[in-house]
Chains A and B, each alone.
Chain A
Amino acid sequence: MMARIAQRARRGARPLPMKARIGLTILAAYILAGIFGPMLLPFDPDKTDILRRLKPPSNVHWLGTDQLGRDFLTRLVVAIRVDLPIAFAAAFFPMVIGTALGAIAGYYGKLADTVVSRAADLVQAFPVYVFLLVLVFALGAGATSFIVAATVIAWVGYARLARGEVMRLKSLEFVEAARVTGLPERVILTTHVLPNALPQTLIYYMSDVVLMVLVLSSLSFLGVGIQPPTAEWGRMIAEGQPFLRSHWWLAAAPGLMLMVFGTGLSLLADGLDDWLRS
């Protein structure tokens, strides 16, 4: 998939749409900021100095300090290292598991399909993110619990997507052609069917990451997600809410970070989708 995109991009047959380029730029900016930002910023994100709490923006603290006197800009940037990897991971495991289950259901049908489809129905009968909240609670708050709980519920979307794609693809002639050549079904599924379902899966993954980062921050906002003192945007919004009247940016800025990241990734997904379809 990536090779194909790279190959096509190299050939320059069709330039990436503007949407995708904007999205890619935003994503790259976040990743670079996440990698290099903490090295460039002189402050320790967890170092409190309560005597210097709630300072307005200044030459030293460009975005001021938070309620414990920590440099707010540093925490905004360091949170990239928390929110992004967890969101990407929380969507990655369900992608792997969901795609595998969906592909098996779609390819082999019969009992496999029935079992997977009924399990998916069951999960979807739940208000899934409430279920996720409750699962995280049952497992104990934290990143690992979040990823596990996200996997339990989010595989369904990937499974449905993969099942549909595989069912569409398996009736195509190249799959039959592969069967005639005597390749085992397992090999056909993994090397001929699935690679063709990957672009759509990857696009779905990107929008799922957006969802996951929002859900993660929501849980942290509710106090069930990432625990203090770790810098996390949802948690920072919750901690900034008491100071809305005097220090509105404490609640506003982390939300903007989330929003711009989500918008960037959504644009990238949309743009790639348009590009692959055209």
Chain B
Amino acid sequence: MTRSRYILKRLLQTIPLIAGIMVLVMLLLHVVPGDPARAIGGMAASDETVEQIREELGLNRSFVAQYIAYVGNALQGDLGISTRSRQPVTEIIGERLAPTLWLLTAGMILSIVLASAVSVLAARNKDRAADYALGGLTVIGLSMPAYWVGIMLLLLVALPTGAFPISGFGKGFWGHLNAIILPALTFAIAISPVMIRALRAKLVALYRNDFVMMSRAVGLSESTILARHLSRHAALVLITMVSVQVGPMIFVGVVIEKTFALPGLGQALVNAVAQRDFPVVQGITLTTALFVTFVHLGADIFTSFVNPRTVLE
């Protein structure tokens, strides 16, 4: 199979997937026990209110009709209107997107940097004290709740130094950057352990490889070996891990946004959940699901360039 055919096939595969995602997002409303309109309005809503909610959400119509309407509107950029603020959901998402993207981007960069550094260090010192110590830290890292890491960073870094805002997104580029450091660090501490495990294993295998041995024998420096031979494999592992981890990452992002009061999509989602604002919950869920799908797609396409063998299978 040629690469372009592979990419095309991969693109086409996302279509039924997105259709399925939308079914699940629609179904969310229907798993609410009892009458969803009643559940959204609150146990106390009047019959008229409930009827109005039912009308707004299209619950009067058949599921198929609702689905077609929802997909049709979504394609035109209309995800409905918040039952709480009466604001279009797409507008809410647009307003809340920036902090989330900042957090995910900075967090991802920091995670990759942290994971690479620790993995190289551990793999190079395989079965020595440093490896065991880092391995232990990785296991501990896997067991710490992200929000708690954030709170501990507030306690141990932000409060004593006063150098970082305790919450909020700051103002202007530098303000945003400063405000995102601790959340991104929290993100990295939560996300990198999984990456470290995969990357260290790969590096250990690679260091055992003949060509690495040979490179060492002919006197290439370790950093040259790393840059020349290992970086491509490491990049592949990292891309795969990002692809696999993107779902958990988004959840960690939601929790971190709440911990640091970042006014992003995650906070909007948590608030919408608290307010039983269903269209907003659906809209944000759909957005994040699409994001995940496209990250998977992007990772596969990227991999097909770095490692053409994947295309052949």
Seen from chain A, the residues whose Cβ lies within 8 Å of a Cβ on chain B are 118, 121-122, 124-135, 137-140, 210, 214-215, 217-218, 221-224, 234, 237, 241, 244-245, 248, 251-252, 254-255, 258-263, 265-267, 270
Contacts and interface: CB of A to CB of B under 8 A. Distances in A.
A218 B143 contact: no
Contacts of B145: 214, 217-218, 221, 234, 237, 255, 258-259
A126 B28 CA distance: 13
B139 interface: yes
A244 B270 contact: no
B255 A218 contact: yes
B151 A255 contact: yes
A222 B28 contact: no
A134 B28 contact: yes
Contact of B143 (A137, A210, A221, A234): A210
Given A122-B17, A244-B155, A127 B144 contact: no
Contacts, number: 145
A130 B269 CA distance: 9
Most buried by A among B140, B152, B247, B288: B247
Nearest to B16: A118
A81 B254 CA distance: 27
Interface of B: 17, 20-21, 24, 28-29, 31-33, 139-140, 142-148, 151-152, 154-155, 159, 246-251, 254-255, 258, 269-270, 273-274, 276, 281, 285, 288-289, 291-293, 296
Given A122-B24, A210-B143, A270-B139, A130 B33 contact: no
A262 B274 CA distance: 29
Given A129-B247, A130-B285, A258 B144 contact: yes
B234 to A, nearest CB: 23
Nearest to B270: A222
Contacts of A125: 17, 20-21, 289, 292-293, 296
Nearest to B166: A244
B285 A131 contact: yes
Contact of A251 (B21, B32, B148): B148
B152 A252 contact: yes
- Tell me the interface secondary structure of chain A in the complex: helix
A245 B254 contact: no
B139 A126 contact: no
A138 B28 contact: yes
Given A125-B21, A218-B146, A134 B285 contact: yes
Contact of B151 (A128, A131, A244): A244
Chain B CB within 10 A, most for which of A210, A217, A263, A267: A263
B33 A244 contact: no
Given A133-B254, A255-B145, A122 B21 contact: yes
B248 A121 contact: no
A127 B155 contact: no
21 contacts: A125-B17, A127-B292, A131-B289, A132-B251, A133-B254, A133-B273, A137-B276, A137-B281, A138-B31, A138-B32, A210-B143, A218-B251, A221-B145, A237-B147, A255-B145, A258-B144, A259-B140, A259-B148, A262-B143, A263-B139, A266-B143
A126 B292 contact: yes
B144 A126 contact: no
Given A139-B33, A255-B148, A126 B143 contact: no
A18 B225 CA distance: 34
Say what secondary structure dominates the interface of chain B: helix
A110 to B, nearest CB: 19
B280 to A, nearest CB: 11
A90 B248 CA distance: 17
Contacts of B20: 118, 122, 125
Contacts of A223: 270, 274
B250 A130 contact: yes
A251 B246 CA distance: 28
A262 B139 CA distance: 8
A129 B159 CA distance: 30
A261 B154 CA distance: 23
A118 B110 CA distance: 33
Contacts of B146: 218
A251 B151 contact: yes
A111 B276 CA distance: 39
A139 to B, nearest CB: 6
Contacts of B273: 133-134, 137, 222, 224
A126 B148 contact: no
B24 A126 contact: yes
A255 B144 contact: yes
A258 B143 contact: yes
Contacts of A128: 247-248, 251
A126 B21 contact: yes
Contacts of B276: 137
Contact of B251 (A133, A252, A258, A265): A133
Contacts of A135: 28, 31
A241 B151 contact: yes
